[in-house]
Amino acid sequence: MPDFKTLRPLLWLALAGLLAMVVSVSLGSGPVNPADTVAVLTGAGTPLQQTLILELRLPRTLSAFATGGLLAVAGALMQVLLRNPLADPYVLGLSGGAAVGALLAMLAGVAGVLVSGSAFAGAMLATVLVFGLARGQGSWTPSRLLLTGVVIASGWGALITLILAMAPASRLPGMLYWLMGDLSHAGSPWPALLVLVLVCLVLFPLGRTLNVLARGPMQAAALGVDVRPLEWLIYLLASVLTATAVTLAGSVGFVGLVVPHMLRLVLGNDQRLILPACALAGGALLVLADALARVMIAPEQLPVGVITALLGVPTFLYLLYRSGR
């Protein structure tokens, strides 16, 4: 039923995302009023405004949008895969692996692309570890996968602490910012946005199949779903999404857990609606969080992960309390 009524929430979320971006590029040292912002985005405006917005703030805003969207979709996928609303790429240790990869690169004294590449490799290594070990001798249940992920995540946690303890003091601030999630060193947003769009396109025809999978693997198999290949595909997609996000922005927690859950409370659990809604709402949330991170104690900047947690925790608790489910 792809009628207007089902699509309306997506239109609203897209609008919210656009508004958040306009607000985000308008804010900062040397604020630009929103009308001028729109003018710059359509090709007009003064050269100073153009540099400020198009070269500095817009890439960062797009990075924030991509990171939020990637993490929220990854979280939603993990939750369907494990049929557990607490599942999240962070709980499963994917971001822990990425963090260890990134910190090791920083410890070795490299910067930029090498840190990102190392983070990506760490996330994929964590994926292989969790899935390989959870499978063990055949049985491959959600609770086993979740437990394996949690244990491996705490292993990564210990390694992170070890690296921080060994690191020279001069490198610590950069490491801490990376661990808390930080967009100020984000590279080009386009690869991440491309990954987000591609994964959403791959997922679109799978929406109803994912709804069936959410009823449990046996029920799904009885309704004609090839469960095992589908589960591998979801896990792989969620891993790529997470790895892309942490590569761009470090570990921003909380988005993958909270955004899908909040949307489910409001929109129900049809994956055809929830997955694109997660991409839009996660993106909008992180754009706003990053704007706040830039202006709250300006000219200093906060790590965006702090803001997502400070905003997300009360909103989440309020929705949970009010819904009474």
Partner 1 sequence: MTVLAADQLVIDIPGRNSGVPLNLAAQPGQVWAVLGPNGTGKTTLLHTLAGLHPARSGRVLLDGQSVSAMTRKAVSRKLGLVFQDRQDGFPATVLETVLIGRHPWLASWKMEGAEDLAAAEQALEALDVAHLRDRLVNTLSGGERQRVAIATLLTQNPDIWLLDEPGNHLDLHHQVAVMGLLNAQAKSGKTVFLCLHDLNLAARWCSHVLLLYPGGDACWGPARNMLVPAALERLYSQKLITVEADGAPVFVPVR
Residues that bind partner 1 (CB under 8 A): 1-2, 83-85, 204-206, 208-209, 211-212, 214-216, 218-219, 221-226, 264, 268-270, 272, 325
Which two structure tokens, joined as six digits, stand for 135?
């499978």
* CA separation for the pair 193, 284 (Å, rounded): 13
Q: For the purposes of burial, counting CB atoms within 10 Å of the CB of 279, is it exposed (0-12), middle (13-18) or buried (19 or more)?
A: buried
Residue placing its CB nearer to partner 1 in the complex, 166 or 201: 201
82 or 129: whose CB is closer to partner 1?
A: 82
CB of 207 vs partner 1, minimal distance in Å: 8
Please give the Cα distance from 73 to 282 (Å, whole number).
8
- Alpha helices for 47-189 (secondary structure H): 47-50, 58-82, 94-107, 113-135, 142-166, 172-180
Least Å distance, CB 71 to partner 1, is 20
Q: What does the DSSP 8-state code read for residue 234? A: H
Q: Closest approach of Cβ 82 to partner 1, in Å?
A: 9
| Residue 254 token pair | 């909380």
Pick the closer one to partner 1 by CB: 135 or 208. 208
Polymer length of the chain? 325
Residue 48 or 222 with smaller CB distance to partner 1:
222
Residue nearer to partner 1 on the CB measure, 5 or 35: 5
| Nearer to partner 1 among residue 7 and residue 41 (C-beta) | 7
Torsional sign, CA 23, 24, 27, 33 = negative
Structural contact between residues 51 and 231, judged by C-beta atoms closer than 8 angstroms = no
Least CB distance to partner 1 at residue 252 (A): 25
Q: Rank residues 22 and 214 by Cβ distance to partner 1 and give the closer one.
A: 214
Least distance to partner 1, CB of residue 283, Å: 23
Answer for the pair 99, 121: CB distance below 8 angstroms, yes or no: no
Residues 6+ apart with CB under 8 A from 93: 126, 129, 130, 149, 150, 152, 153, 155, 156
* Shortest spacing between CB 226 and partner 1, in angstroms: 5
CB of 143 to partner 1, least distance (A): 12
Cis preceding-peptide flag for 299 (omega within 30 of 0): yes
Q: How far apart are CA 107 and CA 166, in angstroms?
A: 9
Q: Which is nearer to partner 1, 79 or 95 (CB)?
A: 79
The least distance separating partner 1 from the CB of residue 206, rounded to whole angstroms, comes to 7
